[in-house]
Amino acid sequence: MATPADTSPLGLTTLAPPAPEQPPAAAAAQRQVRPDIEPDQTGLTGQILVGVFVGLPMLALLAAAPLAWGWGLGWHDIVIAVVFYAISGLGISMGYHRYFTHGSFKANRPFKIALAVAGTLALEGPVLTWVADHRRHHKYSDKEGDPHSPWRFGNDWKALTKGLAYAHMGWMFDPNRTSQEKFCPDWLADSDIRRMDRWFPWLVAASFLAPALIGGLWAWSWQGAVTAFFWASLVRISFLHHVTWSINSICHTFGKEEFSVRDKSRNVNWLAILSFGESWHNLHHADPTCARHGALKGQIDIAARLIWVAEKLGWASDVRWPDEARLTGKRTGSRKLGSMTRRVERAPGPVAGR
């Protein structure tokens, strides 16, 4: 009997061949496989820091609407916030997710480092932690072992409500840590990425303070620094967090299934622009290494378009664009594949009259 399908760290599903008989010594050695979860190495301090990173920007976001009507919001703040949102959000979408986690393309060294820095500015964790968690998510998507499935507590409305809250935020307070040695040994062996991982606290400080510095210099006043810190640091970070977390929660609960998958991943149109194309989540789970998630005609995928630009500039290579032959059989509807798709080569037919 064939063994069950397994998933590689890059998200590729393979069917293992039947396991041969093994001597007792070999079987015992095989049982020493590295576990998915490592013991808690952060302790109470680490969980408190997570609470500060999550809670402080969220409080700013809740206060943002009433403050906007009174004082403290100007064009300087909007421009700085939008620019930092784009840099850090694309750092997650293009960098942390499509490049570092799934290997959707290869990047030259400067581009690789730039993607790591940009993703870190989002304050969603060091690159190695993010990659390990997301690769584990794909290995066990919406099953036991998935770090943030909204279906972990059951299917009824009470369980799903609890699951949505857990998938959106609660999972980050789990004291267990995904094993980086098991899920991202490739990046652990990269000295540049280990360095970026160690520099996480300094890049966090830069993400908070750089908007304030720019706002203060632009307005040439301390008020400009304060308002830029509020809108372009606190509010921007919190808003991006909730957009990213919505991919874990909303995009595994609601939306359209336009490709056949084995989990609950769905496409959510209204999140596409804010998430730079990440909310075309159904296609992503159907073909995890694909560089374009919005593969169907009319689906806006900003990150994919910028990967296309990087490819033209020579910064990216070996890009895994949507493959018509691979995706045609997975589509559940008749909607056509969009641009950047590798088309099936068809032999020319007979010429009429011959």
Q: Kindly state whether residue 222 falls inside one of the protein's structural domains.
A: yes
Q: Kindly state whether residue 35 falls inside one of the protein's structural domains.
A: no
Confidence of residue 15 (pLDDT cuts 50, 70, 90): very low
The CB density around residue 257, as the number of other CB atoms within 10 Å, is 15
Return the amino acid letter for 49.
Answer: L
CA dist., res. 246 & res. 12, Å (int): 24
Q: Kindly state whether residue 10 falls inside one of the protein's structural domains.
A: no
Contact criterion met (CB below 8 Å) for 171 and 95: no
Contacts of 120 (CB under 8 A, 6+ apart): 91, 126, 127, 196, 199, 200, 203, 204, 207
CA dist., res. 130 & res. 124, Å (int): 7
Strand partners, 177: 38
The pTM (predicted TM-score) of the whole model is 0.82
* Count of structural domains within the chain: 1
Find the domain containing 247 and state its range: 43-330
Q: Kindly state whether residue 53 falls inside one of the protein's structural domains.
A: yes
The pLDDT tens digits of the residues spanning 75-104 come to 999 999 999 999 999 999 999 999 999 999
Q: Kindly state whether residue 339 falls inside one of the protein's structural domains.
A: no
The pLDDT tens digits of the residues spanning 234-272 come to 999 999 999 999 999 999 998 899 999 999 999 999 999
Q: Kindly state whether residue 13 falls inside one of the protein's structural domains.
A: no
What are 27-32's contacts with CB under 8 Å, separation 24+? none
**Positions of E strands within 232-299:** none
Angle at 262 between CA 256 and CA 266, to 5 degrees: 20
Q: Kindly state whether residue 205 falls inside one of the protein's structural domains.
A: yes
Q: Kindly state whether residue 346 falls inside one of the protein's structural domains.
A: no
Helix (H, G, I), strand (E, B) or coil at 313: helix
**Positions of E strands within the chain:** 5-7, 13-15, 37-38, 106-107, 177-178, 316-317
Q: What is the pLDDT of residue 174?
A: 86
User: Which has more confidence, 189 or 6?
Assistant: 189
Confidence of residue 38 (pLDDT cuts 50, 70, 90): low
Contact criterion met (CB below 8 Å) for 248 and 268: no
